[in-house]
A and B are shown apart, each in its own frame.
Chain A
């Protein structure tokens, strides 16, 4: 069974840093692209960024509001995705989800974690 479990959220002051993790299981993590999506309280979904599989290579892509402040990385040996968030702003307050799409017998299945809440407030 595919599972994505986010952790690391919490209350942080503006200007601070936080690292989120997404532990993956039930599939070959190293083969897939992974993404982060966030949702501010009572608001819609906003894509944060994505990281390709090592075999595909290429740059990690970010949404404009987080570019230069957030870094997505992965540790394939630990089946874990990370989101390093620096210079946090109040507008970064959101539930952060990790998500991926995996192919099984030529059919692509999409999976999401339960999310972790980040609150940026003084």
Chain B
């Protein structure tokens, strides 16, 4: 089974400063279509999850361009260029496999 890890698990950031979250999968899973279905979700306090990034680096509709995703193979990164107050919450990476979905443990982003 695929295991997803994230670091850090807690990320205090200063408003206006950048933030970066790392996600690693225990195995590389590239589909025959050439895609790696690695997604990033944001969950603000008290809200349902919201997808931010799909297939490693594609921003969902309405997601601010300060969010970006990158990576390949087993190593992926979510970056926020300038953190805003509304970015507080928990961020999860998720890998879609043929068997189902596997989420990372989550990274809690808070303002210093």
Which A residues contact B (CB, under 8 angstroms)? 35, 37, 44-47, 49-50, 61-64, 97, 99, 107-110, 112-115
Which of A47, A97, A113 is B101 in contact with, Cβ under 8 Å? A47
Q: Contacts of B101 on A, CB cut-off 8 Å?
A: 35, 37, 47, 50
Chain B interface size, under 10 / 10 to 19 / 20 to 34 / 35 or more: 20 to 34
Expressed in whole angstroms, the Cα–Cα distance for A49 and B99 within the complex equals 9
Which are the 7 A-B pairs with shortest beta-carbon distances?
A47-B101, A110-B51, A112-B48, A44-B106, A45-B103, A61-B100, A44-B105
Contacting residues of chain B (67-112) with chain A, CB-CB under 8 angstroms:
90, 92, 94, 99-106
Interface pair A114/B48, CB less than 8 Å apart: yes
B59 to chain A, nearest CB (A): 11
Interface pair B103/A109, CB less than 8 Å apart: no
- Please give me the residue from chain A that is nearest to B48 by CB atom: A112
Is B50 interfacial (CB 8 A cutoff)? yes
A61, A63, A110, A113 interface centre (most CB from chain B within 10 Å) = A110
B6 to chain A, nearest CB (A): 10
Q: Contacts of B106 on A, CB cut-off 8 Å?
A: 44-45
Which B residues contact A (CB, under 8 angstroms)? 1, 39, 41, 43, 48-51, 54, 60-61, 90, 92, 94, 99-106
Interface pair A49/B100, CB less than 8 Å apart: yes
Q: Contacts of B102 on A, CB cut-off 8 Å?
A: 47
Which of B48, B90, B94, B105 is A97 in contact with, Cβ under 8 Å? B48
B109 to chain A, nearest CB (A): 14
**Known contacts A44-B92, A49-B100, A99-B49; can you find 5 more A-B pairs with CB under 8 A?**
A35-B101, A37-B101, A50-B100, A107-B61, A110-B60
Expressed in whole angstroms, the Cα–Cα distance for A107 and B55 within the complex equals 12
B48 to chain A, nearest CB (A): 4
Given the known A-B contacts A45-B41, A110-B51, A112-B49, are A61 and B99 also in contact in the complex, defined by CB atoms under 8 Å?
yes
Expressed in whole angstroms, the Cα–Cα distance for A38 and B102 within the complex equals 12
B103 to chain A, nearest CB (A): 5
- Please give me the residue from chain B that is nearest to A114 by CB atom: B48
Q: Contacts of B51 on A, CB cut-off 8 Å?
A: 110
